[in-house]
Structure formats: C-alpha cells, structure tokens
A = this chain, B = another copy of it.
Amino acid sequence: MAVNKVGKQTLVFKNPPVIADGATIVGPKEGQGPIGRHFDKVLDDDMWGEDSWEKAESHMYDSTVRMVLEKCKLSVDQIDVMLGGDLLNQLIASNYAARELAIPFLGLYGACSTMSESLGLGSILLDGGYATHVVASCSSHFSTAERQYRNPLGLGNQRPLSAQWTVTGCGATVLTNQGVGPKITHFTIGRVMDYGVTDATNMGAAMAPAAADTIATHLYDTQRSPSDYDLIVTGDLGLIGRQLAIDLLKKSGQDVSRVFNDCGCMIFAEDQDTHSGGSGCGCSAVVFNAYLLNMLRTGEYKRILLTATGALMSPTSSLQGESIPAIAHAIAIEWGGQPTEGA
C-alpha cells in the first residue's frame, strides 16, 4: 500500500495544497444566470473580437490564466507548471493558450472531468515537493462544442429535453504550498464506467454511474459519510443525471440527497431554456472558481467534495455504434479558517 493513499482509489495530502485564488471568464448567458455576479468577467459576445469561436475560446483561456496570476501577484515565470485541457479535438483551446503563456504545460483530457483532474494532479505536484505554484485550468465554449460534437448552429436543430447546454467559460486556479485558504485534502481517481447509454443528447444519464461510483468509493476509502460534507457537488450531470446519481448512491447505501448538487443545475435558471442544465468542462471550472470558492472563503461551506464528471464518447465512436463511457474524479476541499481577503 502506498503511504499517501487510503482505500482503493483515494490519495491523501499530508501537506494539503492551498487554493491561492481562482479566476473566471464566462459568456453572456452564463453571466445572466443565478450565480452570474460571482464571475470575474462576463463577455458581451462569445466571439470576443476573434474571427473564430475556437480562437475566442483560446483567448478566454489565456486571459483567465493571466487574470488569476494577477490576483495572486505572480508572474508567469513563477508558475512551475500549468495543467489543463478543454473539449476540443487536440485541445486547441488550451494548447494555443499554453503557447502564448510559455509555461511548462501538461495537457489533460478527461472531457468535463478535467477541472478535478487538473486540481488533483496539481495537488500531487505541490504535496510531493515538485512545485511551489501550479495553475489548474480548463475551458469549454457553447459554439465550438456544438460545431464539433453536434450540428452546425445555423441548422437550428431542435434540442431534446434531456440535452444540456455547453457552458462558455474558463476557470483557472492557482495552487500553492504555503499561505492560508481552502485546502485540497484528498483526490479520488475515477474509473471509466459505462452502463450502455447510447444517446449523446442524454449525457447526464451516461455520466451518473461514474459520478456515483467515484463518490461511493471516496466515502468508503475515507470512512466518511455524506453528512461529513456541506456539499457534494458533481460537474455537469444536469437535472436528469443529478437525480440518477442520487438514486444510484442510495442503492449503494449512501443517502447524499441533503448535501448534493450539480454545477450544471446551479449555473442556469429554468427560464434560460437550457433544458437539462449546463455541461462542458467550463461548467464545473467556473462554478468552482467563482461561486464555490467564495462560499468556502466566507465560511458558508467548511468542506466540499468536487466531483467533475466527463462523458468520453466522440462523434466517431457514436457513429460506430459505441455506448458512452464516463469518468469522474473527486477532490475534497476544506477551510475551517477565518474568511479570507478575497472572499
């Protein structure tokens, strides 16, 4: 058994990395949602002066990272490594941003689970003494995702009620090995789960088993119960997936219903007509780096479990008749101190 691991899949940080700060840039629709006032910058339009949506997403990524560095009074040179990714083929949003930033970069692909994957791996680098400052980050963009995964927007296809709305947004976190603030204490690495869902417009159902598996494993590994958390929050299950995850966890003996929510259900209001809620790796990235971080800093939440969830199919695998595998990684964060400056 590894010394910094408990149970089957959970890493424990003996020198828990501190969340120095987070930054977020979102699109107009996200800014109009119920937690809109928490975001650092709301764009007026999702092209942001670029000549393609893909370039706009990369611009947003680069700017969000520079914004969080500015908040932390850090220069690019002081960052040991940036970890991140996005939903686009070959990670062009994050790779082109990493080119502009010229920071040592480790590219990750976990679909919409990337925010917790990057926070988890970043925490390992800090806790293990391999770095003093790390950026964890990811982005998504409604229009780049529609173009790549679904139909050209110009067709105006009707979206089924189970469909989710890809969040236009980027979130970036600076993690450090010193200072005060919310700390990352555990990282539960998920397994790929597949219950045979083949409907790419019902990703919440495809991802719910992976979310439930990782949360149940985390609770088992740490010998905690749901009531040990003020909030257990998934990435982007949406309304349908959230209920399925609650039901699956109940079957495995864990009643999480009192402390459970989903970033995809928090970011948009019902009258914003997104159907089942938000999705995309930007979803958990911006909800975490804005709203959840503020709630931790003001003491509203003392301990949360952030469980970002990713659907791992591609248009190619769907066309070849494959079902949709999914993964979820969980990060335990706690902060029992006084409200911090940034709160």
Contact check, B105 vs A189: say whether CB atoms are below 8 A apart. yes
Contact A91 B106 (CB under 8 A): no
- Whether B316 pairs with A92 at a CB distance below 8 angstroms is yes
Query: In the assembled complex, which residues on chain B have CB atoms less than 8 Å from the CB atom of A190?
Result: 104-105
- B111 x A90 contact (CB < 8 A): yes
Apart from the given pairs A104-B190, A107-B110, 15 other A-B contacts in the complex at a CB distance below 8 Å: A3-B129, A4-B128, A5-B131, A52-B320, A54-B320, A89-B314, A91-B312, A96-B325, A98-B191, A102-B192, A106-B117, A107-B108, A107-B312, A121-B121, A128-B129
Q: Smallest Cβ distance from A55 to chain B, in angstroms?
A: 7
B99 touches A192 (CB 8 A): yes
Chain B interface: which of A80-88, A249-257, A260-268, A285-293?
A80-88
CA distance A219 to B24 in the complex (A): 37
Q: How far is the CB of A145 from chain B (nearest CB, A)?
A: 12
Beyond A128-B124, A192-B99, whether A104 also contacts B9 by CB under 8 A is yes
State the copy count for this chain.
2
CA of A192 to CA of B84 in the docked complex: distance in angstroms? 13
* A54→B317 contact, CB < 8 A: yes
Whole-angstrom distance from the CB of A98 to the nearest CB of chain B? 4
Asked if A47 CB lies within 8 Å of chain B CBs, one says: no
Question: Could you list 18 examples of A-B contacts with CB < 8 Å?
Answer: A2-B130, A4-B128, A4-B130, A52-B320, A54-B320, A55-B320, A89-B314, A90-B111, A92-B322, A103-B191, A104-B189, A105-B190, A105-B327, A106-B189, A108-B108, A124-B124, A128-B130, A148-B316
* Residues of chain A in range 312-343 having any CB-CB distance to chain B below 8 Å: 312-317, 320, 322, 325, 327, 329
Q: Tell me the A161-202 residues at the B interface (CB within 8 Å).
A: 177, 189-194
Chain A: interface size category = 35 or more
Determine whether the beta carbon of A99 is less than 8 Å from that of B316.
no
* Inter-chain contacts of A88 with B (CB < 8 A): 314, 316
A61-B236 Cα distance, complex, nearest whole Å: 29
On whether A92 and B124 interact (CB within 8 A), knowing A99-B192, A108-B106, the answer reads no
Cβ-based interface call for A20 (8 A): no
Contact flags A271-294 to B (C-beta < 8 A → 1, else 0)? 000000000000000000000000
Please provide the chain A residues from 191 to 231 with a CB less than 8 Å away from any CB of chain B in the complex. 191-194
CA of A54 to CA of B319 in the docked complex: distance in angstroms? 11
Q: Is the CB of B129 within 8 A of A4?
A: yes
Query: Quick check: is A143 within 8 A (CB to CB) of the other chain?
Result: no
